[in-house]
Structure 1
Amino acid sequence: MYRSRERTLYMAAPEFTILLLAAGITLFAGVVKGAVGFAMPMILISGLASIMPAQEALVALILPTLLTNVVQALRQGARAACVSVRDYWRMIATLVVFVLLTAQAVPMIPQALLLGALGLPIVAFALSQLLGHQFRFHAARRGLAEVLTGMVGGIYGGLSGVWGPPTIALLVSLRAEKRESVRVQGVVYTIGSVALLVGHASSGVITSGRLSLSGLLVAPALAGLWLGFAIQDRLDAQRFRRWTLVVLAITGLNLIRRALT
């Protein structure tokens, strides 16, 4: 009953209002990505799924994340990006396979279960970071660590477009240098976004209307990204990151609330 009323309210809301709210969320997500280098998909899926059905939110984030990831991946040039593909091919290949497989299950997952599956890892990641805990893999056997990272990232990536936490965990475990870490994330997320687009093109989740909304959100995403780049050296990155995590935790909890009610 509650979900039906919520859906009715969403459908009754003026289209321009939904678009304006979605653009604002996307702009903020772009600023965060430009300033601290992560969390854009988590902000988008948690924020957009709070104002529209989860499947529509999932499609809406695909094009903004894809294009901003391309910018991030190529900031040091195409040759450096190709080196990252070569160095992390096991993780990338595994992630692509599991994104394509998991995406096919999205239309069969009940809305409440999907909301819970989105909210729980977001809250877990945000709270663990706020408490000072860093997810890590034991990377003594790098090949196995990459495959496990790709599996975990691919499963959640196919469901939500979020593959950042396990990727970051692997890079931290390998003690990747900052510029390399940012570049590798951009490369992995770009290829993952392409796989997500292909996977949901065959799953039936993507429709012309949903993809049109995703296209409209590209401009605020890129504007936010460049704004984040511009203010990166002028703000207290730690404080900004902390408040971003607080926002993530709150929006993740709201997704869990919607799943339970």
Structure 2
Amino acid sequence: MQTTLSFDAAHLMLLSAVTAIFLLAGFVKGVVGLGLPTVAVGLLGLFMPPVQAAALLIVPSLVTNVWQLLAGGRFVWLLRRLWLMLIGIVVGTLLGTRWISGDNSGQATAALGAALIVYAILGLAAVKFSVPASTEKWLSPVIGLATGLVTAATAVFVIPAVPYLQALHLEKDELIQALGLSFTVSTIAMAAGLAQGGALQMTDAAVSLMALVPALGGMFIGQWLRGKISAVLFRRCFFVGLLLLGLHLTSHFWL
């Protein structure tokens, strides 16, 4: 009887932690337009394997990114421009999904930390890149493939896709919609890879569906707060937090 109570308490604590994490992750996405998978998987990775964290991410990430994708009116134009990158994302994710399962979970956690560190440094340094139109045709699939491999290894979609999309000098609304398109494809490819490898369990799918509610709630709050605070200050705090979290995750691999 005592074991049963302990088991129930452990699951209640886990569900509470998942709820709080997705509320925070949705809030960040609502304010800055991205960061839900980065924050969610980064924090979940502190107390569960990356493969399980990736499974819990599927439903909240898919719904919020489809929402973001459909919010603009440039979907067809973006699809025509970015289709090579999107194919690369699918191929890279399906090829690399095995990296976040089995005996590689420790390496995947370290890779997640490294991705967070790189992303945070780029954000804090306000690094800006420029991609000439003449190079898009060959660079887009390379960026997509690299993003897919990073997604498979870490369940984080941002490196190097986000800096690349920013380097295309899209208009603000086009960039937000392009991010939604890229993240949606990454989420679907990751879900397919996890299912193919047997890592997507019904229990994780149920918890992922439950996590949608706090993620959407956090997104609503973040969107409301977006106009109340300085976006520059919030982004700076956001990237500092990601840097510290990345250093913490990588330290477990080396110590």
Q: Same fold, TM exceeding 0.5? A: yes
> Quick one: which amino acid aligns to residue 120 of structure 2?
A
Aligned residue in 1 for 2:59: 63
Deviation digits for residues 149-179 of structure 1 (CA, Å, limit 9, x no counterpart):
1011110111222222322222222211111
- Residue 50 in 1 paired to residue 53 in 2? no
Aligned residue in 1 for 2:127: 133
User: What is the distance in 1 between the residues matched to 2:155 and 2:51?
Assistant: 11
Match of 2:179 among 172, 177, 185: 185
Aligned residue in 1 for 2:251: 257
Cα displacement (A) at 1:223 = 1.0
User: What is the distance in 1 between the residues matched to 2:125 and 2:78?
Assistant: 31
Aligned residue in 2 for 1:209: 203
Match of 1:196 among 187, 190, 195: 190
Residue aligned with 1:104, SS: helix
- Residue 100 in 1 paired to residue 101 in 2? no
Residue aligned with 1:246, SS: helix
User: What is the distance in 1 between the residues matched to 2:47 and 2:166?
Assistant: 34
Aligned identity (percent) is 28
| Equivalent pair of 1:91/1:147 in contact (CA under 8 Å) | yes
> Quick one: which amino acid aligns to residue 137 of structure 2?
G
CA gap 1:165/1:104 in 2 versus in 1, 3 angstroms: closer
- Answer with 15-24 or 129-138: which moved more: 129-138
User: What is the distance in 2 between the residues matched to 1:143 and 1:58?
Assistant: 30
CA gap 1:110/1:161 in 2 versus in 1, 3 angstroms: closer
> Quick one: which amino acid aligns to residue 60 of structure 1?
L
Unaligned regions of 5+ residues in structure 2, if any?
1-6
| Equivalent pair of 1:29/1:224 in contact (CA under 8 Å) | yes
Residue aligned with 1:67, SS: helix
Cα displacement (A) at 1:67 = 0.8
Aligned residue in 1 for 2:218: 224
- Residue 73 in 1 paired to residue 95 in 2? no
CA gap 1:82/1:17 in 2 versus in 1, 3 angstroms: same
Cα displacement (A) at 1:191 = 1.6
CA gap 1:88/1:109 in 2 versus in 1, 3 angstroms: farther
> Quick one: which amino acid aligns to residue 180 of structure 1?
E
Q: CA RMSD in A?
A: 1.9
Aligned residue in 2 for 1:4: none
| Equivalent pair of 1:104/1:202 in contact (CA under 8 Å) | no
User: What is the distance in 2 between the residues matched to 1:74 and 1:158?
Assistant: 25
Aligned residue in 2 for 1:243: 237
Cα displacement (A) at 1:57 = 1.0
Cα displacement (A) at 1:127 = 2.2
Cα displacement (A) at 1:199 = 1.0
- Residue 145 in 1 paired to residue 145 in 2? no
Cα displacement (A) at 1:26 = 0.9
| Equivalent pair of 1:106/1:203 in contact (CA under 8 Å) | no
How many residue pairs get matched? 249
Cα displacement (A) at 1:136 = 5.8
User: What is the distance in 2 between the residues matched to 1:108 and 1:25?
Assistant: 24
Match of 2:109 among 110, 115, 118: 115
Match of 1:36 among 21, 27, 32: 32
Cα displacement (A) at 1:51 = 2.3
| Equivalent pair of 2:99/2:108 in contact (CA under 8 Å) | no
Unaligned regions of 5+ residues in structure 1, if any?
1-10
Match of 1:167 among 143, 146, 161: 161
User: What is the distance in 2 between the residues matched to 1:29 and 1:207?
Assistant: 23
| Equivalent pair of 2:22/2:40 in contact (CA under 8 Å) | yes
